[in-house]
Amino acid sequence: MEVLHQIPNIQVPTVVALGLFDGIHAGHQKVISEAVRQKDLTPIVFSFFFDGDVTKRHFSTILSPALRYEKLDRLGVSCLIEPPFSQIRSLSPEAFFEEILQKKLHAKAIVCGENFHFGVHASGNAALLYKLCSDHGLSFTSVPFFTVDGLPVSSSRIRNAIEQGDIPLANRLLKYPYQIDFTVSHGKQLGRVLGFPTINQIYPEGFTLPRFGVYATKAVVDGKKYNAVTNVGTKPTIAGHFAPSAESYLLDFSGDLYDQKVTLEFYAFVRDERRFENLDALKAQISEDSKKVRSLLDSGLLL
């Protein structure tokens, strides 16, 4: 899949899926799949990224760019076009339709969610886009909300579930395990001293932070998945100030993963993060957490 951060002039007829697509959740997947299935048209996803001081209210990143690109590629998208928001934010809905969709992207079909908004101050909606497409001979598809438990799937609902530690709900909304792929950083290697060597992945600023605590996870190393015990938080037992991170003990794994990107899949919240009186108490708790996580993941009930 090609990824472009400038809007190109495309010469072949395209079908364009429109949206922010920040989590590639179940609803996003339906919109994209609707575009990909249309024959004789090149499937394109048009999105954007926030630049400068502009962002959506309560916005935080769910998926890293690499994981997002990987999922779009697997859905069959030929090209992702995501210019900086500053390049398109001042366009009227009509100008966006004519200058970008028609002239630059050579769109013959448009697909979006029923709650899609576009143009300056989000003044355009799916109804206006339908009218513009009808007036200019373009095919138009508005994909209804995808619901889970009777409520629409949305990125804000997923963020809330992650922040509350409700990983099973987040995973049902996403239709895949909530995951991170941050680079493994060097730490104090205290886990190795305790007999539980860990990998440490620091959450970059702006990412959705899970509820601080211990999770049942799986780490993907060289294509193989290892059950893991992951503590998300700031290491309250250890002296010093630490940025929020995911610190994981990979069960049945031995090796050096420093400076590598490791994909970590979350499956369940186990307990809240807490401060221990001493390292022996922390070591005993890690042992108990490991037994519980192994039982949860080996049961297959969370997968």
| Residue pLDDT, tens place only, 39-70 | 899 999 999 998 877 667 678 999 999 999 99
| Full-model pTM | 0.92
- Looking at the domain 2-152, which fold is it? Rossmann fold (3.40.50)
- At residue 239 the predicted structure's pLDDT band, cuts being 50, 70 and 90, is very low
Percent of the chain with pLDDT over 90: 81
Q: Write the pLDDT tens digit of every residue in 142-164.
A: 999 999 999 999 999 999 999 99
Question: In sequence order, what DSSP letters do the residues of 176-239 get, joined into one string?
Answer: S--EE-PBEEP---HHHHHT--EEEEEPPTTBPPPPSEEEEEEEEETTEEEEEEEEEE--TTSS
* CATH 2.40.30.30 domain span(s) along the chain: 177-299
Q: Write the pLDDT tens digit of every residue in 276-289.
A: 777 788 888 889 99
Mean pLDDT of the chain: 91
CA 93/CA 120 separation, integer angstroms: 7
Smallest Cα–Cα separation from 80: which of 96, 64, 99, 65?
Answer: 65
Mean pLDDT of the region 209-238: 90
* CATH 3.40.50.620 domain span(s) along the chain: 2-152
- Looking at the domain 177-299, which fold is it? Elongation Factor Tu (Ef-tu); domain 3 (2.40.30)
Over 80: is that where the pLDDT of 119 sits?
yes
